[in-house]
A = this chain, B = another copy of it.
Amino acid sequence: MTREDAAKLSPADLRKAMADGLWLDTTVGLGLGYLHTNVAILPEKYAFDFLLYCVRNPKPCPVIHVSEPGDPIINTVSAGSDIRDDISRYCVFEKGELVATPTSLRDYWRPDAVTFLLGCSVTFEQALINNGVPMRHHAQGSTPGVYITDIPCAPAGQFAGPVVASVRAIPGHLVSRAVEVTSRYPWGHGSPLHIGDPSLIGVDLSKPDYGDVPVFEEGDVPVFWGCGVTPQLALSEAKPEYMFSHYPAHMYVADVTSDNVPR
């Protein structure tokens, strides 16, 4: 299936194509307008502390869905969707080490597995585009610079670590608009966590920890949003016996639109 064909599928059909092994690539440009999420699946005994960590750090870790232990069905945002099949590629970690990148979790599932769906940047990027704020990195064919800041997360139990932020170059006269628009999407990282001088949050724009070096045009301001890498770092430090996540850029795509997330 070409990406052009995949982009025409409804979220339910796209997830079925993933489950059937017909689409195993990234979700970039797919399920346009629908909610994409980060995914973290971990043992029940870590679930309270991780949920508390997310609640205490809502910009990087916006909670959209938390399952009952062992229940792989995501009914809140997609009727009958099975998280074990409905992502194109997964990461499997054991004690913080990546041990496999399967296209299904059927062989790895555990009876005490609690699934967390957390908001992702696809939501706010699309909202910004819809509201006239350009995404420079789209035009440049690059990915946003992602930085480990010197802002600490509010810890909870064994979950702690720095806030990770992604940057976008926003034309100065549209920065206010960008705040207005993204503040309407708390489930999509919400409003920016920093605007302006990157050094104030311990960031050197020329040295991203992930992604590409951002390119600024005349009059652009660096604007930073919370990033889904934040909980991934905290999880890799906490080293649970097992943890499953989506593979980078292979997001969970829900039936609800980015605007219509149950709250």
Mark A residues whose CB is within 8 Å of B. 47-48, 51-52, 55-56, 58-59, 63, 66, 186, 190, 263
Q: Most chain-B CB neighbours within 10 Å: which of A47, A63, A190, A263? A: A263
In the bound complex, how far is the Cα of B66 from the Cα of A153, in angstroms?
15
Q: Which residues of B contact A63 (CB under 8 A)?
A: 55
- Considering the chains assembled together, what is the distance between the CA atoms of A1 and B63 in angstroms? 44
Q: How many copies does the complex hold?
A: 2
6 closest A-B pairs by beta carbon, nearest first, are A48-B48, A52-B66, A51-B51, A55-B63, A58-B263, A47-B48
A52 to B63, CA, bound (A): 10
CB distance from A66 to the nearest CB of B (A): 6
Q: Please measure, in the bound complex, the distance between the C-alpha atom of A59 and the C-alpha atom of B262, giving whole angstroms.
A: 11
A56: chain B residues within 8 A (beta carbon): 66
List, sorted by A's number, 16 A–B pairs whose CB atoms are closer than 8 Å.
A47-B48, A48-B48, A48-B51, A51-B51, A51-B52, A51-B55, A52-B66, A55-B55, A55-B63, A55-B66, A56-B66, A58-B263, A59-B263, A186-B186, A186-B263, A190-B263
Q: How far is the CA of A48 from the CA of B50 in the complex (A)?
A: 10
Expressed in whole angstroms, the Cα–Cα distance for A63 and B55 within the complex equals 8
Known: A48-B48, A51-B52, A56-B66. 13 other contacts (CB 8 A): A47-B48, A48-B51, A51-B51, A51-B55, A52-B66, A55-B55, A55-B63, A55-B66, A58-B263, A59-B263, A186-B186, A186-B263, A190-B263
Complex CA–CA separation, A48 to B66 (angstroms): 11
With both chains docked as a complex, state the minimum distance between the C-beta of A109 and any C-beta of chain B, in angstroms: 20
Shortest CB–CB separation between residue A76 and chain B, in angstroms? Answer: 8
Complex CA gap A63/B186 in Å reads 14
Q: How many angstroms from the CA of A56 to the CA of B59 in the assembled complex?
A: 18
Instruction: Give the CA-CA distance A63 to B52 in the complex, in Å.
Output: 10
- Tell me which residues across on chain B come within 8 A of A55, comparing CB atoms: 51, 55, 63, 66
A186 — which chain B residues lie within 8 A by C-beta? 186, 263
List the B residue with the shortest CB-CB distance to A57.
B263
Residue of B nearest to A190 (CB): B263
Cα distance A58–B64 in the bound complex, in angstroms: 11
Cβ distance A188 to chain B, nearest Cβ, rounded Å: 14
Identify the closest chain B residue to A155 (Cβ). B68
List chain B residues, Cβ under 8 A from A59. 263
Contacts of A66 in B (CB 8 A): 52, 55-56
Most buried by B among A55, A59, A63, A190: A55
A152 → chain B closest CB, angstroms: 14
